[in-house]
Amino acid sequence: MPAFSLEPEQTAWCAELRALAAARLRPLADQGEPGHVNRPLLTELGRLGLLERLFTSGALDLCLMRESLAQACTEAETALALQGLGAHPVHAHGSPAQRKHWLPKVADGSAVAAFALSEPGAGSDAAALSLAAEPDGTGTGGWRLTGEKCWISNAPEADFYTVFARTTPGAGAHGVTAFLVPADRPGLAGTALEMLSPHPIGALRFDAVPVTADDVLGETDRGFAVAMGTLNLFRPSVGAFAVGMAQAALDATVDHTRRREAFRGTLKDLQAVAHQVAEMALRTEAARLMVYAAATAYDQGAPGVPGRAAMAKLLATETAQYVVDTAVQLHGARALRRGHLLEHLYREVRAPRVYEGASEVQRGIIAKELYATADHQEAR
């Protein structure tokens, strides 16, 4: 399938998702409390079969889900995405016992997952994390986790965490191990953080939290690869989330500018306004195509996936910021009123430029891939 085109079945599925989000997910989202996990919303996502698709779909389908849901209900999109981010390492690297116990619960919405990578002193530089996994001294091969995690989505309300800890001091990215840590482990505590974006984010404190070899995801000291593999899959879909928000803002702006009377006509009759709307549409479509191309490259196992994923996230999130901001400007003061769609999107759209690698990190990844390719070609 060409990366720039969707099949009719995919287009129809996206329309169905938007309708379901508006009719069945939006009401549940409205009943939720900002900054907290909305378990009824997760249950409904499970009932609709969307959470299970996190483990049966490819990167492009994940992007289509996130984009479609974001157009009608950003809360539902984010709830689905966080389940996928937290549980994908279990799906991809977990033992049969880990998968059997947790994945069905994630799929039906009864267990909340979280991806615990960032720390107070190691956000963009993920290889510098310092949460210590020290041998527990029992001779059984277990560890005790001591330290902090911060900016963790779904914390502290998640039922389990994919936690990345340092098992070999001084080894950089090569000394990190991924662990599956249930929330009820002794010594694990968390606090909620009040953030601009409305989804739940918190900090975790590990006070000699016990973990064993049965809790390892993948291999000891190979956890950084688990983290980067997960991010390579989800970064294009962060872009899809951004595209969905941009499209919602664009649709609202087209409707507003063709109806709003001003200066003896409508806003769309003003060339300055019409050209701004055209620019919004141009950038949104360009970002969408790059997201689809990056996701298709991932699904096909094409070379250069990290760079493509970084480009997709970077372009789409920066584009969404521009489109939503322009939409607010063209709507005027009404868009800043609490409860307006654009007021909601204005708060939502800022965070994706930071999480899962800030825009500056994405540029670094792109440059690294470019120079590595050039060095490889020169060496041939």
Residues acting as catalytic residues: 356
**Rounded-to-integer distance, Cα 173 and Cα 221, Å:** 8
Region at 170 (left for phi over 0; alpha for psi -120 to 50; beta for the rest): left
Other beta carbons within 10 Å of 120: 12
Alpha-carbon Rg for the chain, nearest whole angstrom, is 21
